[in-house]
Chain A
Amino acid sequence: DIVLAQTPLSLSVTPGQPASISCKSSQSLLNSEGKTYLYWYLQRPGQPPQLLIYEVLNRFSGVSERFSGSGSGTDFTLKISRVEAEDAGVYYCMQAIELPVTFGGGTKVE
């Protein structure tokens, strides 16, 4: 199974400041057609996860431009340009290039 290692485990950020979360994969998430199946989710307390970023850098519908994704191969990053109070929760990366689908362990942002 593909292992996704997220760092840091937790992050305390002052509103208005940037934040960055890393996700490293145990193998490349790039397929033969040039697509990279790496996703980012935010789970607010008591809520199901919501999709933020798909295929490394594409913001899902309605997601703030403050969120951006980057990376390639095995190393990926989620950045929040200016953290707001509503951004608090646990962020997960997920890979879907190979079954089983796997998630990173999560990064708690406070």
Chain B
Amino acid sequence: QVQLVQSGAEMKKPGTSVKVSCKTSPSTFTGYYIHWVRQAPGQGLQWMGWINPHTSGTYYAHQFQGRLTMTRDASIITAYMELSRLSSDDTAVYYCATSIGWGQGTLVTVSS
């Protein structure tokens, strides 16, 4: 069973950045791309991009390019998603996911 454990909720001011972590298992880290998907309150799912934990290769959806960075730390089998220049429109639950399982989600609230 895939286990993806995300960091806790964050409250951020507009213009700042947030970094969300996603801890996996060794088999997940080496076997699957890790995707990041967000869901604004009451809205649908929006795919943000993926990282290949094995190579650190990334692909970002065009609407996030320039302010989205996905990284990973193989020593602690953890992936990270950092989003900069936050606005209230970025208030959402952020999920990490593989093809066979999802993290529990991290609520990011952007408010002045």
Residues of A near any B CB (own CB < 8 A):
43, 48-51, 54, 60, 90, 92, 94, 99-106
Q: How far is the CB of A110 from chain B (nearest CB, A)?
A: 16
Residues of B near any A CB (own CB < 8 A):
35, 44-47, 49, 59, 61-62, 95, 97, 99-105
Given A48-B95, A50-B102, CB of A92 within 8 Å of CB of B59: no
The 8 closest A-B pairs by CB, nearest first: A48-B102, A101-B47, A100-B61, A103-B45, A106-B44, A105-B44, A48-B105, A48-B95
Q: Is the CB of B44 within 8 A of A100?
A: no
Q: How far does the alpha carbon of A92 sit from the alpha carbon of B43 in the complex, in Å?
A: 12
Chain B residues with Cβ under 8 A from A106's Cβ? 44-45
Q: How far is the CB of A16 from chain B (nearest CB, A)?
A: 29
Q: How far is the CB of B105 from chain A (nearest CB, A)?
A: 5
Q: How far is the CB of A46 from chain B (nearest CB, A)?
A: 9
Chain A residues with Cβ under 8 A from B44's Cβ? 90, 92, 103-106
What are 23 inter-chain pairs, A to B, with CB distance below 8 A? A43-B45, A48-B97, A48-B102, A48-B103, A48-B104, A48-B105, A49-B95, A49-B97, A50-B102, A51-B99, A51-B100, A51-B101, A54-B99, A99-B59, A100-B47, A100-B49, A100-B61, A100-B62, A101-B35, A102-B47, A103-B46, A106-B44, A106-B45
Given A92-B44, A103-B47, CB of A60 within 8 Å of CB of B35: no
Given contacts A51-B99, A104-B44, A105-B44, 5 further A-B contacts (CB under 8 A): A48-B104, A49-B97, A49-B102, A94-B45, A103-B46
